[in-house]
A = this chain, B = another copy of it.
Amino acid sequence: MSRLDRSLIAHMAPFEGLNPTELDRMIGQARALRITKDHAVFDQEQDAHSFFLLLDGYVRVIKTTPDGEEVTVRYISPGELMGIASALGRTTYPASAIAVVDCVVLAWPSGMWSEFASAFPNFGANTYRTVGNRLQDAHARVVEMSTEQVDQRVAHALLKLVRQSGKRTDEGLLIDFPLSRQDIAEMTGTTLHTVSRLLTAWEEQGLVRSGRQKVTVVEPHRLLMLAEGRTEKT
């Protein structure tokens, strides 16, 4: 087993303001795990034994309804914490997390979270800031779902993903992990059929390029116009 080094995490937002000694103490307690594509990092309703930091890859956080429908809560990028049930005063995970590509994560026992938070106030504050940001994201999403039409919501979702993981290519900004029509539907509360129709329409207008589990945004600016509803239908 390779020794974990503080340089792995030093530059990441959750650890901002921690000094090298503190980083060493935290990483000394971490286990590194590989999660292969389509496997769960943690499962909704299960006992929250650990919290996690994503080092590499992408993870989809989903909530499953009693009747089996899945709603995607967010995508996690490298450097983000996940499964921080303890920071929310829970003993159980409120959602499931699935690796969308092969991933590397660090895991700490949940019980350790409050120790870290009090021993390293910056870490606690950083985590709470994360929770605060996610609350604002969630509220923004509620507003979107209450006031926008499906096409605007899909456009917003794509732009959000591009901001999170956009990779410049010669065609435009590629979303850097496999993303199906169904996945987009689960982010926006619609069906894969509607997403498919929207994407083909946008492709004809040159806004995006897309294929099997792959979406490239060609004209972010025009897509944003559409997302903001500032376009008159032609």
Contact = CB atoms under 8 A, between A and B. Distances in A.
Interface of A: 63, 65-67, 69, 71, 73, 87-90, 94-95, 128-129, 131-136, 138-139, 141-143, 145-147, 186, 188-189, 228-229
Number of copies: 2
Contact of A95 (B88, B89, B139, B229): B139
Given A141-B142, A145-B146, A136 B69 contact: no
Provide the main secondary structure of the chain A interface.
helix
Contact of A131 (B128, B142, B186): B128
B89 A143 contact: no
Contact of A132 (B66, B88, B129, B147): B88
Contact of A136 (B94, B141, B228): B94
A134 B133 contact: no
Interface centre among A87, A95, A134, A138 (most CB of B within 10 A): A138
Contacts of A63: 139, 143
A143 B87 contact: no
A71 B142 contact: yes
Given A71-B142, A138-B141, 12 more contacts: A69-B147, A71-B147, A73-B139, A88-B129, A94-B139, A128-B128, A131-B131, A131-B132, A131-B135, A135-B138, A138-B142, A146-B186
